[in-house]
């Protein structure tokens, strides 16, 4: 819908690869994170020390509830669409990424 407000989710990257990312959302999203699978997103990857980052388009591929200590978190998997070469180089330079060789 054109007038629909975008959904903004805040979380932390747990796993990052060329194909996508695993993002941990805190327990505040337990009740509001319904029907996320298939939603198009723009993942704003920010490097705190640099005060900069890149925006990577993707789709939410899966969602899980994870028990952590005494509470639960929501974890979502984002599958990236095509990443522009300059954004890919930024991610390689500034973010820890999982590769097939490091597994």
pLDDT digits (tens, 9 = 90+) for 40-84: 888 888 877 777 888 888 999 999 888 878 878 888 999 998 888
Rounded CA-CA distance 65/90 in Å is 31
Residue that wins the pLDDT comparison between 79 and 11: 79
Q: How far is CA 85 from CA 18, 60, 82, 92, 98, in A?
A: 12, 22, 9, 10, 18
The predicted structure's pLDDT at residue 14: 85
Do 74 and 30 touch, CB atoms closer than 8 A?
A: yes
CATH tag, 11-98: 2.40.10
Number of helices and strands (H, E) in the chain? 1, 5
pLDDT digits (tens, 9 = 90+) for 38-47: 988 888 888 7
Which residues pair with residue 76 across a beta bridge?
Answer: 23, 63
Rounded CA-CA distance 13/6 in Å is 20
Q: Residue ranges of the domains in the chain?
A: 11-98
Average of pLDDT values for 18-24? Answer: 88
The predicted structure's pLDDT at residue 103: 44
Which residues pair with residue 60 across a beta bridge?
Answer: 78
């Amino acid at each position: 819908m054109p007038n629909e407000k975008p959904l903004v989710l805040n979380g932390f990257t747990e796993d990052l690869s060329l194909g996508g990312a695993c993002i941990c959302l805190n327990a505040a999203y337990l009740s509001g994170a319904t029907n996320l699978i298939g939603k198009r997103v723009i993942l704003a990857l920010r490097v705190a020390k640099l005060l900069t980052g890149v925006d990577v388009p993707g789709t939410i591929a899966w969602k899980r509830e994870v028990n952590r200590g005494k509470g639960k978190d929501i974890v979502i998997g984002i599958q990236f669409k095509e990443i522009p070469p300059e954004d890919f180089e930024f991610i390689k330079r500034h973010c820890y990424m999982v590769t097939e060789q490091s597994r």
